[in-house]
């Protein structure tokens, strides 16, 4: 079985599982049979309007700006949309800087026009990501370093029992909320960009990872899992800094920067995205499922665990690919981004010719 088939299967399972959680089919069928579907829809819309009426928004915004520690509120999801819009503007501005650099640095004669165009587009994206994740990782570290639940391997106190202390009414620093908003907004733009761009061979694996990340960010914010969720985001954000740096320079002549970034990336990926993510994030969540079960439901607990394991699986898959990249570099002395799988497009062009 090809890996693409596995990714497509997992993608279908994630979508079906998520739809089932948002709108359970058996529950909808029961409401339809009992004739209570229309009143239920009206009640849901009425509740939604009450959350997003002017007075509610004004009250919740005042709480956000005046209180240092707050709990998530429905109208705060508006900040994710604002963040996504600001991210799109920042990407557009950064593109005006990065595109001329990409055209200048990426060789013209090494690849076909189509392949080179794809590489320049990837350069533009990674150039923005390099600056974005550097800033967002710094913000995340500042927001989390003084928290008691910050893992001791990362310089914190490591009281992981505080992840769910006082749950579900635990209050979290407004700076952590801001960190969530910025990450959630970025993820929305990333999913949009993936859907609008040319479908490359790595589309399924990228879309699977982004979809799981989006679902987890918004689900964890709605369920007030900000403490463990913010640690997970920071582990991934830090790695993205070095991943972006490596992929910005991989197709240029700056081999020293590429190799240096790759060595840091490989080390940080194994430590943060595999060890810390599994031991300090997934395991504590698993150990507290008995406490979460009565509050969010058994199926939601299974769904949450499944999504976390899918992301862990993707992290392990990319870690193996990076190992292959290192072996390829040692054997040939050439740096090559095999994560994008552009070589498959090149082989396809050769067959057509």
User: Phi-psi bin for 224: left (phi > 0), alpha (psi -120 to 50), beta?
Assistant: left
In the prediction, which pLDDT does 324 show? 86
In a domain, 12, yes or no: no
In a domain, 5, yes or no: no
Rounded alpha-carbon distances, angstroms, from residue 353 to 107, 113, 343, 349:
22, 14, 15, 6
Residue 118 CA to residue 182 CA, distance in Å, equals 27
In the prediction, which pLDDT does 341 show? 62
Residues 6+ apart with CB under 8 A from 28: 37
Which DSSP symbol is given to 334? -
In the prediction, which pLDDT does 89 show? 97
In the prediction, which pLDDT does 219 show? 94
The whole-model pTM stands at: 0.91
In the prediction, which pLDDT does 339 show? 63
pLDDT averages per 10-residue partition of the chain, 353 residues: 80 90 74 76 77 80 88 92 96 95 88 86 94 97 95 93 90 95 96 88 90 96 95 97 92 87 95 97 94 90 95 95 84 69 61 56
Task: Supply the DSSP string of 54-108, one letter for each residue.
Answer: HHHHHHHHHHHHH-SEE---GGGHHHHHHHHHHHHHHHHHHHHHHHHHHHHHS-S
In the prediction, which pLDDT does 343 show? 61
Rounded to 5 degrees, what angle do the CA atoms 86, 88, 93 make? 95
In a domain, 178, yes or no: yes
CA 207 to chain centre: 10
The count of structural domains within the chain is: 1
Question: Residue 285 is part of which domain span?
Answer: 74-352
**109, burial (CB in 10 Å: exposed 0-12, middle 13-18, buried 19+):** exposed
Q: H/E element holding 145?
A: none
In a domain, 25, yes or no: no
Residue 151 CA to residue 159 CA, distance in Å, equals 7
Question: Do residues 274 and 315 make contact, with C-beta atoms less than 8 angstroms apart?
Answer: yes
Q: CB under 8 Å, gap of 24 or more: what pairs does 12-21 form?
A: 14/208, 14/211, 14/212, 14/215, 14/306, 14/307, 14/310, 15/211, 17/303, 17/306, 18/215, 18/303, 20/299, 21/299, 21/300, 21/303
In a domain, 310, yes or no: yes
In a domain, 246, yes or no: yes
In a domain, 9, yes or no: no
In a domain, 10, yes or no: no
Rounded to 5 degrees, what angle do the CA atoms 58, 176, 303 make? 95
In the prediction, which pLDDT does 87 show? 97
In the prediction, which pLDDT does 276 show? 97
Question: Do residues 247 and 122 make contact, with C-beta atoms less than 8 angstroms apart?
Answer: yes
């Amino acid at each position: 079985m090809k890996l693409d088939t596995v990714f497509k299967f997992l993608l279908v399972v994630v979508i079906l599982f998520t739809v089932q959680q948002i709108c359970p089919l058996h529950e909808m069928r029961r409401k339809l049979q009992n004739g209570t579907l229309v009143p239920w829809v009206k009640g849901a819309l009425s509740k939604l309007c009450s959350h997003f009426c002017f007075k509610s928004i004004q009250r919740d915004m005042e709480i956000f700006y005046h209180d240092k520690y707050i709990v998530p509120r429905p109208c705060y999801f508006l900040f994710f949309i604002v963040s996504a819009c600001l991210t799109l503007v920042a990407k557009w501005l950064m593109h005006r800087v990065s595109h001329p650099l990409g055209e200048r640095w990426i060789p013209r004669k090494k690849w076909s026009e189509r392949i080179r165009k794809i590489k320049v587009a990837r350069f533009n994206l990674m150039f923005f990501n390099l600056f974005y994740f550097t800033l967002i990782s710094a913000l995340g570290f500042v927001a989390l370093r003084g928290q008691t639940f910050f893992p001791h391997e990362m310089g914190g106190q490591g009281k992981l029992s505080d992840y769910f202390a006082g749950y579900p009414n635990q209050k979290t620093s407004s700076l952590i909320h801001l960190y969530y908003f910025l990450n959630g907004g970025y993820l929305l733009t990333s999913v949009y960009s993936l859907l609008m761009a040319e479908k490359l061979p790595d589309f399924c694996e990228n879309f699977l990872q982004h979809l799981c990340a989006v679902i987890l960010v918004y689900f964890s914010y709605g369920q007030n899992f900000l403490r463990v969720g913010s640690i997970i985001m920071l582990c991934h954000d830090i790695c993205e800094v070095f991943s972006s740096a490596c992929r910005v320079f991989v197709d240029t002549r700056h081999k020293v920067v590429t190799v240096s970034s790759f060595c840091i990336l490989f080390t940080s990926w194994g430590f943060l995205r595999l060890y810390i993510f599994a031991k300090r994030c997934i395991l504590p969540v698993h150990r507290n499922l008995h406490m979460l079960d009565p509050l969010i439901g058994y199926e939601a607990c299974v769904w949450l665990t499944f999504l976390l394991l899918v992301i862990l699986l993707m992290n392990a898959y990319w870690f193996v690919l990076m190992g292959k990249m290192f072996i390829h570099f040692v054997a040939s002395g050439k740096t090559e981004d095999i994560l994008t799988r552009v070589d498959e497009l090149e082989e396809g062009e050769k067959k057509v010719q």
